[in-house]
Amino acid sequence: MKVLMIGHGAFAQKHMDGIEKIDGVEVTSICGRRPDATKEAAEARGIEHWSTDLDECLAQDVDCAIITSATQVHAEQAIKCLEAGKHVEVEIPMADTLADSIAIHEAQQRTGLIAMAGHTRRFNPSHQYVHNEITAGNLNIQQMDVQTYFFRRTNMNAAGGVRSWTDHLLWHHACHTVDLFQYQTGETVSECFALEGPHHPDLGIAMDMSIGMKVPSGAICTLSLSFNNDGPLGTFFRYIGDNATYLARYDDLFNGKDEQIDVSNVDVSMNGIELQDREFFAAIKEGREPNSSIAQCLPAMETLDKLERCLNSQK
């Protein structure tokens, strides 16, 4: 299976690292924004074809595309790939508006191709372990308490490079948890609210945010996000259940007594992005809907839209 990688930044590199571990799959083309950087990224991986023209890349002998470009062009690029007959995996968030998210879903429905969103939390073994406990009937979620903290007061990416676009706490980082909460409870959010702190004078975005959500069964989620946190970085999850508590810190899982749980045998890898890509390629080969399909993740985008409208009502 031949893959077109759209974008070559920090997350594209993580995808390509994972793909190197998957038999029968290779990246054969890279599409970027700047010729010099795109050429350098392709040569570093020994990839013969590269271009800054997406149409040229789609004309190559590729089966599918993984989109890791700027959020603002995700929808446009995903739709173009689907209309060119290519299966698509688009990194989170699939778009930064509900309307664009719906447009991707409509393009997938028209073409019948595989379209998947990069909700890696569904695939991390730590969260898979909790999901397996839920589906086995051993755990019911009462509350998820989540902290997503960064120190990012300049427009930098995860690799320390300058971004061509501005990150967003709601449509990007909250998106992970909004989808995971609905995935783990098996329900769609029925009530939600959001509060935000001051906007950065240069970036123009809220640097701190608080989100609360509830599903019809009564389970709640409390999410705190910050770009101002000068301390331990990342996202930390506490699952409070009816008969157990779990703490997920990256790929590590602990019980409520802070005793580590071995999750090394939950899946074939401990790398969530690799597992996410394996699901994408398997769904293409088997002609089935993947876990984290655009259709499955659309309710998360609907909830984000409600949260944005809540924030806008406070202005």
Residues 75 and 202 in one domain: no
Q: Categorize the per-residue pLDDT at 155 as very low, low, confident or very high, splitting at 50, 70 and 90.
A: low
Angle between helices 98-111 and 294-313 (to 10 degrees): 160
**What CATH number does the domain containing 183 carry?**
3.30.360.10
Residues 102 and 215 in one domain: no
The tens digit of pLDDT for each residue in 157-196 reads 555 566 554 578 999 999 999 999 999 999 999 999 999 9
Residues 241 and 277 in one domain: no
Residues 89 and 155 in one domain: no
Residue 251, burial from CB neighbour count under 10 angstroms (0-12, 13-18, 19+):
middle
Residues 105 and 148 in one domain: no
Segments forming the whole domain that contains residue 80: 2-120+273-291
- Dihedral angle over CA of 248, 196, 167, 175, nearest 10: 40
Q: Categorize the per-residue pLDDT at 150 as very low, low, confident or very high, splitting at 50, 70 and 90.
A: confident
Residue pair 74/94 in contact (Cβ under 8 Å)? The answer is yes
Residues 115 and 65 in one domain: yes
Q: Categorize the per-residue pLDDT at 205 as very low, low, confident or very high, splitting at 50, 70 and 90.
A: confident
The pair of structure tokens assigned to 218 is 């009564």
The tens digit of pLDDT for each residue in 278-300 reads 999 999 999 999 999 999 999 99
- Grouping H, G, I as helix, E, B as strand and the rest as coil, residue 61 is coil
Number of structural domains the chain divides into: 2
Residues 263 and 196 in one domain: yes
Q: Categorize the per-residue pLDDT at 153 as very low, low, confident or very high, splitting at 50, 70 and 90.
A: low
Question: Cα separation of 136 and 67, whole Å?
Answer: 34
pTM of the model: 0.94
Mean of pLDDT over the chain: 94
E strands, 103-153, in order: 115-118, 141-149
95: pLDDT strictly greater than 90: yes
Instruction: Give the burial string for 302-312 (b: 16+ CB within 10 Å, else e).
Output: bbbbbbbebbe
Residues 280 and 234 in one domain: no
Residue pair 239/232 in contact (Cβ under 8 Å)? The answer is no
Q: Categorize the per-residue pLDDT at 51 as very low, low, confident or very high, splitting at 50, 70 and 90.
A: very high
The tens digit of pLDDT for each residue in 125-138 reads 999 999 999 999 99
State the pLDDT at residue 286. 98
Number of H-type helices and E-type strands within the chain = 9, 14
Tally the residues of the chain.
Answer: 315
The sign of the dihedral angle between the CA atoms of 278, 282, 284, 287 is negative
State the pLDDT at residue 224. 98
The tens digit of pLDDT for each residue in 24-46 reads 999 999 999 999 999 999 999 99
Distance of CA 134 to CAs 25, 129, 189, 243, 259, Å? Answer: 33, 9, 18, 11, 20
Residues 94 and 10 in one domain: yes
Question: Cα separation of 194 and 308, whole Å?
Answer: 8
Residues 179 and 305 in one domain: yes
State the pLDDT at residue 164. 55
Residue pair 107/81 in contact (Cβ under 8 Å)? The answer is no
